[in-house]
Structure 1
Amino acid sequence: MSGKGFTTQCVHSDGNVNQPAHGAAHEPISASVLFNYESAQDLVDVFQGKKVGHVYSRSSSGSVSALQNILNEMEQGVGAVCFATGMAAISSTLLALFRQGDHLIVSRYLFGNTRSFFNTLIRIGIDITLVDITDASNVADALKPNTLGVFTETLANPVTQVADMKGLSSFCREHDLLFMVDSTMTPRTMFNANDFGVSLLFSSLTKYVGGHGNALGGVVVDCGNMNWAKFPHILPLYQGDDEKQWGLTQIKKLGLRDFGATLSPHAAHMFSVGLETLSMRMERNCKNAAKLAEFLDSHSAVKKVYYPGLSNHPQHGRAAEYFSDFGALLSFDLVEGVSEIEVLDKMKLALCATHLGDNRTLALPVASTIFFENSDEERAAMGITDSMIRVSVGIEDTDDLISDFKQSLDSFVK
């Protein structure tokens, strides 16, 4: 459907990309674990990658393949691999590609669980340097002879720092490094990874793609911008005729197959359906976030608001250049003497929950929950304060949403 608008493509993607049988609008849910072949040679050929097919649903199934086709088409990549969660996509991919003695340059502003995983990589002998990725010169300063890749988020959670995507892309291209980007906070409606030469694009499908808080999943898309012949760890077994598929093949075999973090067929179907309304939901999410950020920025109980749509955000101009909107995630610090726990307890509409990208507005105390395992020094380096509240803004009526925050915050104003 080249030439059509993004929403039109999403609404019709399953039917057009996958062309389900019998005129179905969606690929049917395939719950079979095994796949029978009348010819043993056909099974052998599928196992060896000589024919397209499924041999065991831990590695692939019709439902998951259909979703991968849609996501890859959406990002205009060379292929996609889905996993049971967003963290599974990151961890399985990196463990499939890197080994002891390698060096990675990583954003210091990562989501707590992702940062925890990089600490695990350190424990198994992979060297990690955490840097401020809002300036690509910091990444250049961290370069070592054994550096193989850079990993960042487009928009950081929870303090909303915006990565220097142009500078990072240029640096990775110059040094033949794998440019790995988590775009969960900026889905395809907001951000086009191919405009920035991204090698591997990660996303937690659980968040905005799903949108309803009812399915877990993650994906990695190979955007086609990496010369895999220059990457030292692709095993000869996975160096097929199509060089652009080398990375994905190893990720599928050593990551998805061997670690077994398989996306369920039912979850794949839920994400295919969720994609149909992604544009409309994101438009409402972002509109509400902008209005709420403006309100919070003017409230006397609030010390500071972190939202790239505000003109006082350090990377406001960059966010306006990179993204089609400013996102639906914001955080704010409270003035001294106001308890983040008490503010949240007075909320009547916003849910106190650890999740993002939902139709409902969600809020939580940052330092004492999702970054509780980090030290005071680590949180300070990430810009996280003890009084910070993170908000994932939903699609409620704007006036109702602002009214809820107002009634809570107003109770602390003398």
Structure 2
Amino acid sequence: MKKPGFTTATLHSDRSKPIEHGATHKPIHNSAAFCYADANELVKVFQGEKAGFVYGRQGSPTSAALEDKITRMEDGLATISFSSGMAAISTTLFALLRAGDHMVASSFLFGNTTSLFETFAQFGIEVTFVDPTEAANVEAALKPNTRVVFVETIANPRTQVADLAGIGAVCQARNVLYVVDNTITTPFLFQPKRVCASLVINSLTKYIGGHGNALGGAVTDTGLFDWSTYPNIYDHYKKGETKTWGVVQIRKKGLRDAGATLGPEAAHHLAIGAETLALRMQRTCSNAQRLAEFLAAHPKVKRVYYPGLSDHPQYERAKSLFCGNSGILSFELIDGIDCIAALGKLEIVISSTNLGDNRTLAIPVAPTIYFEMGAERRASLGIAESLIRISTGIEDIEDLIADFTAALAD
């Protein structure tokens, strides 16, 4: 039988391993502890000689089933789930970095990720922020002690598209760990493994879960990085095949020690939501394209940022990399129009800070998610005071366009 397609493989992922009582979904295992027939078996599980579960803080059968699903989606080696996307980023990097290390990161990162990386300096980890739309900027920032390059596929909220393939080639040539946040594109639209990513981050809260009813995050090891060359692997994790060293250290020094564990109920919600990812993303991308085109032609809109528009600086790159441009777009209103007042007139679109929900969400960027940066820093990042970010949902597009038409009419 040929390899199943994306949705088929996702739908039937749980059935690749035995499921209790013939259920079609992996059930919710709420137990915090797991018992074994004898102490020797427990010791083997603790020491990694045998597969199994020892304590809920390090995962459960329910989260493990979700991890298997994400690994298949990303065509990876293994996945570790966390309580949120930020937990996935912070625990992964703290498990792999040490004082004196250097990291290169996109200057267009999600605000909370930028805030986290700025905090790294307090722990002796230097971070250099660069424009990732040109791989040369990343290469120029590399140092002998650079351990990680971290970028997002499509930036939030201005939608810049990183030179993902070019950066991957640089990291490969310099043997630097390449971490790509795939949240905005999802593994349906793009698999970072194709551009030689070492690790892939996904905020499962967003499109993969899709319903705005559970928090979660994940890191997937693509299997491409040679961990035997990475200087920060602790000796007691250098067991078995070298390709597993990284994911074992992240699970032990990251998930176990930090305790940012994904609960079984949330894992179950996210696993069910993931089954319809492809269907939802197709509708979301279609709606976002139509809405972006409508707003671009509107007389009260100054500019629209969406990779699916031909005037986007990385339009051709997005077209070559992704099989859709996701559902995130942003736009600026012309001078004299209050963006908060305009959003207040929307009836279908919801004022909310989340992304990737089935419902369309909108937020004024400057006074909310980028407020702490201050006006000067916002201006340096091209964040206009009137910028509105839209996370397009799966509503009927005619209704969304009618809603924006009415809100911008006065």
Q: In which range does the TM-score fall when normalised by the shorter chain?
A: over 0.9
CA distance in 2, matches of 1:145, 1:3: 42
SS in 1 for 2:187: coil
SS in 1 for 2:12: helix
Please tell me whether the aligned partners of residues 18 and 69 of structure 1 are also in contact (alpha carbons under 8 angstroms): no
Structure 1 stretches of 5 or more lacking a match?
A: none
In structure 2, the partner of 1:290 is: 289
- Aligned-partner residue type, residue 171 of structure 1: V
1:44 to partner: Cα distance:
0.7
- Say if 2:264 is the partner of 1:302: no
In structure 2, the partner of 1:311 is: 310
1:36 to partner: Cα distance:
1.3
In structure 2, the partner of 1:4 is: 4
CA distance in 2, matches of 1:18, 1:201: 24
CA distance in 2, matches of 1:233, 1:326: 36
In structure 1, the partner of 2:239 is: 240
Question: TM-score, normalization: structure 1?
Answer: 0.98
SS in 2 for 1:296: helix
SS in 2 for 1:203: strand
1:375 to partner: Cα distance:
2.9
CA distance in 2, matches of 1:2, 1:42: 38
- Aligned-partner residue type, residue 183 of structure 2: T
Identity, % of aligned positions? 51
- Aligned-partner residue type, residue 251 of structure 2: K
SS in 2 for 1:77: coil
CA distance in 2, matches of 1:78, 1:192: 13
CA distance in 2, matches of 1:63, 1:364: 34
CA distance in 1, matches of 2:313, 2:184: 18
In structure 1, the partner of 2:42 is: 43
In structure 2, the partner of 1:74 is: 73
Please tell me whether the aligned partners of residues 59 and 262 of structure 2 are also in contact (alpha carbons under 8 angstroms): no
- Say if 2:254 is the partner of 1:255: yes
SS in 2 for 1:374: helix
1:382 to partner: Cα distance:
2.2
In structure 1, the partner of 2:217 is: 218
CA 1:317–1:212 in structure 2 vs 1: closer, same or farther (change >3 Å)? same
In structure 1, the partner of 2:175 is: 176
- Aligned-partner residue type, residue 73 of structure 2: M
- Aligned-partner residue type, residue 318 of structure 1: R
CA distance in 2, matches of 1:357, 1:279: 13
- Aligned-partner residue type, residue 19 of structure 2: P
- Aligned-partner residue type, residue 92 of structure 2: T
Please tell me whether the aligned partners of residues 105 and 130 of structure 2 are also in contact (alpha carbons under 8 angstroms): yes
Please tell me whether the aligned partners of residues 108 and 381 of structure 1 are also in contact (alpha carbons under 8 angstroms): no
CA distance in 2, matches of 1:90, 1:2: 35
1:2 to partner: Cα distance:
5.1
Provide the aligned C-alpha RMSD in A: 1.0
Please tell me whether the aligned partners of residues 134 and 163 of structure 2 are also in contact (alpha carbons under 8 angstroms): yes
- Aligned-partner residue type, residue 254 of structure 1: K
CA distance in 2, matches of 1:410, 1:8: 44
Please tell me whether the aligned partners of residues 222 and 248 of structure 1 are also in contact (alpha carbons under 8 angstroms): yes
CA distance in 1, matches of 2:153, 2:145: 24
Please tell me whether the aligned partners of residues 289 and 330 of structure 1 are also in contact (alpha carbons under 8 angstroms): yes
In structure 1, the partner of 2:13 is: 13
In structure 2, the partner of 1:375 is: 374
1:22 to partner: Cα distance:
2.6
CA distance in 1, matches of 2:221, 2:4: 23
CA 1:335–1:138 in structure 2 vs 1: closer, same or farther (change >3 Å)? same
In structure 2, the partner of 1:357 is: 356
Q: Deviations over 1:161-211 (max 9, x none)?
A: 000011100000010000001000001110022211110100100000111
Moved over 3 A (4+): none
Please tell me whether the aligned partners of residues 73 and 188 of structure 2 are also in contact (alpha carbons under 8 angstroms): no
SS in 2 for 1:10: helix
CA distance in 1, matches of 2:380, 2:242: 40
- Aligned-partner residue type, residue 10 of structure 1: T
- Say if 2:123 is the partner of 1:85: no
- Say if 2:308 is the partner of 1:281: no
1:23 to partner: Cα distance:
2.1
- Aligned-partner residue type, residue 11 of structure 1: L
SS in 1 for 2:372: coil
Please tell me whether the aligned partners of residues 18 and 27 of structure 1 are also in contact (alpha carbons under 8 angstroms): no
- Say if 2:99 is the partner of 1:100: yes
SS in 1 for 2:370: coil
CA distance in 2, matches of 1:290, 1:118: 32
SS in 2 for 1:219: strand
Please tell me whether the aligned partners of residues 109 and 156 of structure 1 are also in contact (alpha carbons under 8 angstroms): yes
1:18 to partner: Cα distance:
3.0
Please tell me whether the aligned partners of residues 13 and 68 of structure 2 are also in contact (alpha carbons under 8 angstroms): no
CA distance in 1, matches of 2:29, 2:2: 28
In structure 1, the partner of 2:137 is: 138
- Aligned-partner residue type, residue 176 of structure 1: N
In structure 2, the partner of 1:125 is: 124
1:231 to partner: Cα distance:
0.8
Please tell me whether the aligned partners of residues 300 and 408 of structure 2 are also in contact (alpha carbons under 8 angstroms): yes
